[in-house]
Structure 1
Amino acid sequence: MSQNSPLDPWVIRFAKFIIRFGAVKASLLFVVLTLIFTFIGTYCLRIWLDGSVQTQDFIGATILSLLSAPWVLWFFSELVKQLEQSRLRLKDAVTQLEKLREEDELLNRTLQNNIKQLNHEIEQRKNAQLEREDMFTDLEREIEDKSEKEQQAQSLSTLLRSIIDASPDLIYYRNPEGQFAGCNKIAEQMTGKTEKELIGLTPHEVFDEELANQVVTSDHYVLENNVTVTEEIWLRFADGKRRYFEMCRVPFYNADNTLLGLLAFGRDITERKQAENALAKASKDKTKFIATISHELRTPLNGIVGLSRMLRDTKLTNEQFSWVSTIYASGITLGNIFNDIIDLDRLDRDRLELSLKTVSIRDFTQELGSIIDLLAKDKDLSFEATVNDPLPALVEVDGTRLRQTLWNLLFNAVKFTQRGKVSLEVSAEPIDSKHSMVTFKVCDTGVGIPQQDLDKIFAMYYQVDLPEHQSATGTGIGLAICQQMVSLMNGKISVSSVIGEGTCFTVNLPLAISQKPLQVEELKVTGLQILLVEDIELNVMVAKALLEKLGQHVDVAMTGQEAIDKARDKEYDLILLDIQLPDMTGFDVANVLHEEGLVEQTSIVALTANVIKTRQEYLDNGMDDVIAKPVKKSRIIEVFNNLFCEPVSEPYKPIEAPKTGQLESILDLEMLQMLVDTIGHEMVRTSVGVFQDNMPEYLEILQLNLSADEKDEVCSQAHKIKGAAGSVGLARVQKIANEIQQGDHPAWWENVHDWVEQLNEAAHKDLEKLQSWLSQQDIDD
């Protein structure tokens, strides 16, 4: 090492000094130092021993030092050499040790790295082992879950199969090739084949030809159009029994949206079909019964009301006038009760209609109040009718329905009031410039209605239990019909009551303010030659007296044939024709008169007690109007003025087509205009004429098929009518026919009769609109 380390032994340091200083120089220095040490030692010794120093003492010491110095020098030289060699060997050993230490450190570091790598690999293998264990655990769990799910699926499949087999519905499914792929027990009973026997067969191999064709056609339609089809068909079971089924067919797919086939399920509705037929028959029988009762009851009622009204116009004592007024009011009451029964039947058939007319609320209230006042006086009650201003002078309302509603409320008020008064209050609040909310409030001081019954009194046939007033009972239909009437007029009816203090009914009606002049109840035509066709003596007496009092000339015929004979012999201005005659119906009489051309200038008005039919039905059978029995003077004046009085003179206008906005829902104006522009008016008229000639036959066939419950034929005929109507632009007729042809409609059977009735009415009216539109086009050109 080049530098001395403080940690090296002194010998090593001394040897390093000798080597660095040089052996010769060190030897000479050692001799000199030895001599100096000898001289100093000799001097000190002699002084200590003798106290004096001699020259020979220094000479001897010098000679001795010179003799011993070479040997000492040789010894030290050898010692130094040995020491140096030892140092060098030691240095080499240290160097070798350092190399070994470095190699050992490198080896140690390599070993540590290897140990770390090994530990890392061990950790990774340990983690991998844990992951494998977790994976195996998850796999075992998944296998267990899958096994459980498979068991659940198998159990669910078994349960589902049990439910399908236990279902009372007919269920089968077919593949896209049309072959049966499975079924339930009911299907096996119906086909007479087990499921295994049925699989792979086609409908033609299972059903009779007619049913097979029907099934295949429906199934193809479902698969090709990806829709659900519902139809009702008769199915014959293997034991020969026929049952009526409502079949529903739907396409079904797997999770990948791949079509697997068709699923069909059907419910046995034979009992329901029989019940519907029985209900329809019962409804027809009920309607027929009500029509008969209507005629039989209104005939004497007509006499009671008519004669009592005529008696009131004669000179009577006050007592006689009171009696006659009571008879008249009782007749009116009976008529209104019967109107409730008629309206109840109409509500059942959804045929209740509104006929809006211009009405003066003041005059209406006064007229109604005069009759109620008679009833109130019979019970020593007071009656007050109040009209609060401001009130619209004229409104558009169905006076008959409003009168019937208020009559029911007022009659009940009188009936359930023992003392005190009954009141009718009328008021109005404007909604906008064209509409007003008119309020009718009927109050009494009667027995009142319990709070728990207030929400129930408008229910059909519901009657409040009032033990102390058992005499004041009714049918339980009046208030229910009132609510229906008010709802039909877009209004609201409410009630409030306190037991022992009285009841108040409030009717709110949103009514249009009329811009038309009021039809004055004044006959504008007299001297008419009228043929009255009526087979009841009482009715003849009343009607003839009323007509003659109005300034008309009346001939009477008691039978249909007599009426025809009189019409052949004499030309009349008007024929009042009863519908139920002893030898034929009034419709038959009208047909004969029309066929023989006897009534080209004569109006025919039906005079009937059968108010079941709608006015349009009479018009469709050749009548110009209809008057219901009991005959009312106001109705006669209204009909006579409409038929024989010229409207207010206006500048001449060509036949005016209905406004486009009104026609858009009736006619396909765009297509019609295109046809007119393309093929001309004449060709369009010819097409319309062909449709008009064929339509009665189409409708007759449709009606016959409907009566026979031939659903497919009805749909097919409706489809034909739809196409024909579309070709001549009858959009509404086309729309109604389209409803009828949709046999898969869920409520088809419930609605088809109404649709057919609508189709008949629309075909008649819309053809007139179409002809009018074509005439207007001719004029415009």
Structure 2
Amino acid sequence: MKALSYQQKSYALVIMAALVLLVLATLFAKLSLVQQYQYAYTELSHQVLFIRDQVYKVKVSDNHSYDKITQSLVNVERKVQQLQQGLQPLSSAKIGNSIIIDEGMREHAQQYSSTVEQLIANLETLLRLKISQEYSVHTVSLLQQDLLNSFTDAESKMHIFALAAANPQMNTLENPLFNTSQYQSLAVHIELLAKLDEQIKLKSQQVFNTNVSDSMAEQARFWLVLVDDIKFYLLFMSICLLGIYAINYRIQLREQARKESEILHDLSKVEQEKAQLSLVAEHAQDAIIITDSSGRITWVNKGFVTLSGYKPEEIKGKKPGKILQGKNTSKQEVDRIRQGIKQQQSIKSELINYHKDGSEYWIDIAINPIINPKGQVTHFIAVERDSTARKKMEDQLAQAVIKADVSNKAKSTFLATMSHELRTPLNGILGMAQIIEPNLENPEHRQQIQILLESGNHLTSLLNDILDFSKVEEGKLCLENELFQLKTVIEPIISTYEPICAEKDIGFEVKNSINEAQSFKGDKARVRQIIYNLLSNSVKFTESGRVTLSFKQAVNEAGTSGVAMCIQDSGIGIRQERLDSIFDPFIQAESSTTRQYGGTGLGLSIVKQLVELMGGVITVSSKVGLGTRFDIFIALERAQTPVNTPSETSQVKQTLPENIRILIAEDNKVNALVAKTFCQRLGHSVEIAYNGLEAINILKTKPFDLVIMDNHMPEMDGIEATEYIRKTLHLSVPVFACTADVFKEAHDNMIHAGANHVLTKPLQEQSFRDALAQFTHLIGKEQQLTASDNKVVALSRHQPQELNTTEADIDYRQLRAVLADPETFSQHIAEFNEFAEGSITQLIAAYDDDNAADICQLASIIRDKAAAFFSARIYTLALEITETLAGVESVLESQLKLERLQQLINLLEVNIHQNQRLEQGQNIEPKNDDISDVS
């Protein structure tokens, strides 16, 4: 059994001592209480016996004695009752008394009370009998005297005295005395007096019985024995307490001896450690310097001598800085060290020191103050380590990083140049193929052109993979954070891969267990790219069977919510030993894959890096001949606000502009011809400028509805030309940039210059159509805006009757589909009205202050709110204002027309008025199928 520790023994003894003290306190309290009752009952016994004697001696003629004895009996009876009640558990005056009073005390008190009560009752009876006796004697005396006065003859007197002597003489002779009422009354009272004498004699025997005295003596002995017992227990517990203290004292002595032994052992150990530390410090390779509080050297080790070349006797009493520092030592670091020493702080630094022979060397130094218990610095200890070799390595690494950055920049420049150079002719090839295809009637020729388009698109895909990989590698790939619904990702995937799978005669199934109304925040385009890349591989490597794509909401191990996707096919599969390297760049599952199916081997690498950029993870499992399964988790934040994509819905609802004038700025004649043909096939008139300067000169003389601006052109490039159009010509004509650069920086530069949209080469006819549809509301409005510039001189509100309610475009049907609960629907409508009112006030105030940044931020917030309420007009107009004012400080100096801000205010007011009519119960369900231009 394990021995108790010192603390455990101490705790046990303390507990035992506390218990003994508690018992002692209880015993002392009981002793005090018992002595009180002993004194009380002893005094009471004396009083009872005294009263008994008084009753024996009492005379009725002495009224004062009678009253005093009676009052004494009452007092004794009350005192007995009080003492007995005080010993009862429920009637004790104090809680402590009820604890220390035991049953024996109560029983003896009960017996005593019974004895005293019986004695008092007997004394009261005896007292009453004596009173009656006294009255009877007096009455007999009066009756006898009265008879003697009435009958004076000797015979009568003889009979009267004989009766009074209780010895009447029965005489046959009749005497008139016998017939008198006085004689008969005297006879009755004499008989009563005899009976009283008998009762007094009997009661006196009961009262003065020795049992009463014995009972009271027994009671006194009980309390006396109880007091002696308590004193014995007190003595015993005191001895126990002394024993506990003696044991504790012995344990303390042992513990003190043990501690002294440990201290001696620790001191011995410390001395050994000091000797070892002294040995370590003396022979350590690092230099160790000890100085006094003023910073003068008192001791150095051999490492310092080796590092600095100075012997201890040469530097003792000197300050290290004066002999070790030189011209190339950093003054800032020296000042920082001095400041740290002055503030009594530990400090680390890196600086140059000088050897005794004058050569430089780098050191890492750590200085720590030694502070005594009074808070005073007694010494400083400095540890110096030679870091010259590391500094040289760092310099070499820095040079290598510079070279690597130069190499990366050269690679990026090369990729950008190659992208432009490859996409420029590719634009001509694909563009001309798209132009030729609809005009061919020979099926064979159409098939050949189709092969040409497919090969060109494949080449574009390979080029995009290489550029994406390069951007990820350089850390230049930025993710967007926009609101979207998953159906906007799924629907294009279905429309793309259903016909492809049908053509290959394989099944294609999409399973989506996520609520269609659920919105997410993230990069929708990159999510789509991940799925496209994986599906492309699955479809490519599946000759029979099916390809399945599934979606569900999930939470990863860290508790982050997102979307889990699974892509499973029944294709050729991947060997187990190749799975570990399948996500490496330029790696394919089999060497024969490249020959049979083509590809760069970058697709999966890009997918993995995109997934990880989104805070997700991708895993793969496969069996040769049975198929492959990719499981992907992407951390997408769930959004509470319902989202609509007006830019997408508007493509369906808006029609393409007709018969507009387009200026194409393109230095490559083939690309210019392709763009011109696309525009002319849509019924538009086109003019071509072969550089930016030529485009500027044309715009100075002719109005156009749209400008398509190439980026790289001689004399003046697209960025310079676009900035000139916006800042010098002050034209708001829509500008579509068209560039072979796919890097985000190039696109951002065009947008910042004032372009409304960026088209990427090779130009696709469908992407051109989509851009036209998206910006229909801007195309052809230049002249209208110019003519109306002077109509609006300040922003203003309108009365409801001044508003055109046909411009209200909140789609209540879609909003009700998302918010099925009528109460929630009404709350959102009221929320929109409050938001719109506040936004109008803030827009007017921001314009009055010429604060473009506030207007841009407000327009961005309004755009998001419009998306949530399916308001395409407000969304489109707010988006235009946001893009126009991005990065602009002054509204007056920007290209934004005041007319557009007023139109936005008007639309907000119209929708507020329409919502108010809806709340009043009017039937105002709008026809959202016909959305015209907001202007």
Normalising by structure 2, report the TM-score: 0.46
Letter in 2 for 1:344: F
Contact 1:492 1:508 in 2 (8 A): yes
Q: Which residue of 1 aligns with 2:731?
A: 600
Superposition map of 1:447-466 within 5 A: 447-465=572-590
- Out of 310, 326, 341, the residue aligned to residue 207 of structure 1 is 326
User: How far is the alpha carbon of 1:534 from its aligned partner?
Assistant: 1.4
Contact 2:430 2:456 in 1 (8 A): yes
User: How far is the alpha carbon of 1:270 from its aligned partner?
Assistant: 0.2
1:157 aligns with 2:281: yes
Q: Which residue of 1 aligns with 2:497?
A: 369
Q: Which residue of 1 aligns with 2:741?
A: 610
1:219 aligns with 2:337: yes
Q: Which residue of 1 aligns with 2:370?
A: 254
Write out per-residue CA displacement over residues 143-187 of structure 1, whole angstroms, 9 at most, x where no aligned residue.
97566434422331134x31x26xxxxx99999878899999999
- Out of 495, 507, 528, the residue aligned to residue 384 of structure 1 is 507
Contact 1:532 1:554 in 2 (8 A): yes
1:336 aligns with 2:461: yes
1:303 aligns with 2:428: yes
User: How far is the alpha carbon of 1:366 from its aligned partner?
Assistant: 3.5
User: How far is the alpha carbon of 1:293 from its aligned partner?
Assistant: 1.1
- Tell me how many residue pairs correspond in the alignment: 530
Alpha-carbon spacing, 1:142–1:445, altered in 2? closer, same or farther (3 Å): closer
Output the CA distance in 2 between the equivalents of 1:172 and 1:593. Answer: 71
Output the CA distance in 2 between the equivalents of 1:184 and 1:524. Answer: 87
Write out per-residue CA displacement over residues 192-222 of structure 1, whole angstroms, 9 at most, x where no aligned residue.
989966962547983338x543323443565
- Out of 644, 649, 661, the residue aligned to residue 515 of structure 1 is 644
Superposition map of 1:594-743 within 5 A: 594-595=726-727, 597-614=728-745, 615-645=747-777, 649-650=807-808
Alpha-carbon spacing, 1:286–1:232, altered in 2? closer, same or farther (3 Å): farther
Superposition map of 1:316-331 within 5 A: 316-331=441-456
SS at match of 2:628: strand
Output the CA distance in 2 between the equivalents of 1:681 and 1:411. Answer: 50
User: How far is the alpha carbon of 1:398 from its aligned partner?
Assistant: 4.5
Write out per-residue CA displacement over residues 644-678 of structure 1, whole angstroms, 9 at most, x where no aligned residue.
417994599xxx9x999xx9xxxxxxxxxxxxxxx
Alpha-carbon spacing, 1:222–1:637, altered in 2? closer, same or farther (3 Å): farther
Output the CA distance in 2 between the equivalents of 1:232 and 1:659. Answer: 58
1:405 aligns with 2:530: yes
Alpha-carbon spacing, 1:498–1:143, altered in 2? closer, same or farther (3 Å): closer
Q: Which residue of 1 aligns with 2:488?
A: 360
Contact 1:445 1:501 in 2 (8 A): yes
- Which is worse superposed, 317-326 or 172-181? 172-181
SS at match of 1:293: helix
SS at match of 1:600: coil
SS at match of 2:744: coil
1:290 aligns with 2:415: yes
Q: Which residue of 1 aligns with 2:135?
A: none
Alpha-carbon spacing, 1:338–1:585, altered in 2? closer, same or farther (3 Å): same
Contact 1:360 1:394 in 2 (8 A): no
Alpha-carbon spacing, 1:399–1:143, altered in 2? closer, same or farther (3 Å): closer
Alpha-carbon spacing, 1:450–1:191, altered in 2? closer, same or farther (3 Å): same
Letter in 2 for 1:559: N
Output the CA distance in 1 between the equivalents of 2:355 and 2:589. Answer: 53
Output the CA distance in 2 between the equivalents of 1:392 and 1:183. Answer: 76
User: How far is the alpha carbon of 1:481 from its aligned partner?
Assistant: 0.9
User: How far is the alpha carbon of 1:580 from its aligned partner?
Assistant: 1.4
Letter in 1 for 2:701: D
User: How far is the alpha carbon of 1:768 from its aligned partner?
Assistant: 8.7
Normalising by structure 1, report the TM-score: 0.54
- Which is worse superposed, 487-496 or 451-460? 487-496
Contact 2:662 2:704 in 1 (8 A): yes
Letter in 2 for 1:401: R
User: How far is the alpha carbon of 1:482 from its aligned partner?
Assistant: 0.9
Contact 2:571 2:626 in 1 (8 A): yes
Output the CA distance in 2 between the equivalents of 1:440 and 1:240. Answer: 68
- Out of 646, 661, 666, the residue aligned to residue 529 of structure 1 is 661
SS at match of 1:571: coil
Write out per-residue CA displacement over residues 699-735 of structure 1, whole angstroms, 9 at most, x where no aligned residue.
xxxxxxxxxxxxxxxxxxxxxxxxxxxxxxxxxxxxx
Alpha-carbon spacing, 1:323–1:213, altered in 2? closer, same or farther (3 Å): same
- Out of 714, 717, 722, the residue aligned to residue 590 of structure 1 is 722
Output the CA distance in 1 between the equivalents of 2:265 and 2:769. Answer: 94
Output the CA distance in 2 between the equivalents of 1:606 and 1:180. Answer: 72
Contact 2:554 2:564 in 1 (8 A): no
Q: Which residue of 1 aligns with 2:470?
A: 345
Output the CA distance in 2 between the equivalents of 1:625 and 1:235. Answer: 60
Q: Which residue of 2 aligns with 1:423?
A: 547
User: How far is the alpha carbon of 1:533 from its aligned partner?
Assistant: 1.5
Write out per-residue CA displacement over residues 673-703 of structure 1, whole angstroms, 9 at most, x where no aligned residue.
xxxxxxx999x979x99x99xxxxxxxxxxx
Letter in 2 for 1:206: Q
User: How far is the alpha carbon of 1:449 from its aligned partner?
Assistant: 1.0
Output the CA distance in 1 between the equivalents of 2:726 and 2:343. Answer: 51
Letter in 2 for 1:155: L
Output the CA distance in 2 between the equivalents of 1:442 and 1:385. Answer: 11
User: How far is the alpha carbon of 1:251 from its aligned partner?
Assistant: 5.5
Output the CA distance in 2 between the equivalents of 1:633 and 1:312. Answer: 12
Alpha-carbon spacing, 1:497–1:430, altered in 2? closer, same or farther (3 Å): closer
Letter in 2 for 1:360: T
User: How far is the alpha carbon of 1:488 from its aligned partner?
Assistant: 4.1
SS at match of 1:521: helix
Contact 1:627 1:635 in 2 (8 A): yes
Output the CA distance in 2 between the equivalents of 1:587 and 1:228. Answer: 56
Q: Which residue of 2 aligns with 1:278?
A: 403
User: How far is the alpha carbon of 1:469 from its aligned partner?
Assistant: 7.6
User: How far is the alpha carbon of 1:289 from its aligned partner?
Assistant: 0.9
Q: What RMSD over aligned residues (CA atoms) do the two structures have, in Å? A: 5.7
Write out per-residue CA displacement over residues 262-318 of structure 1, whole angstroms, 9 at most, x where no aligned residue.
777764110111011111111111111111111011112223333333444445444
Output the CA distance in 1 between the equivalents of 2:566 and 2:260. Answer: 85
Write out per-residue CA displacement over residues 90-125 of structure 1, whole angstroms, 9 at most, x where no aligned residue.
xxxxxxxxxxxxxxxxxxxxxxxxxxxxxxxxxxxx
- 5+ long unaligned stretches in structure 1: 1-133, 166-170, 664-679, 693-760
Letter in 1 for 2:705: D
SS at match of 1:464: coil
Q: Which residue of 2 aligns with 1:42?
A: none
Output the CA distance in 1 between the equivalents of 2:528 and 2:271. Answer: 77
User: How far is the alpha carbon of 1:372 from its aligned partner?
Assistant: 4.2
Write out per-residue CA displacement over residues 421-458 of structure 1, whole angstroms, 9 at most, x where no aligned residue.
56354555699xxx997766544443311223334322
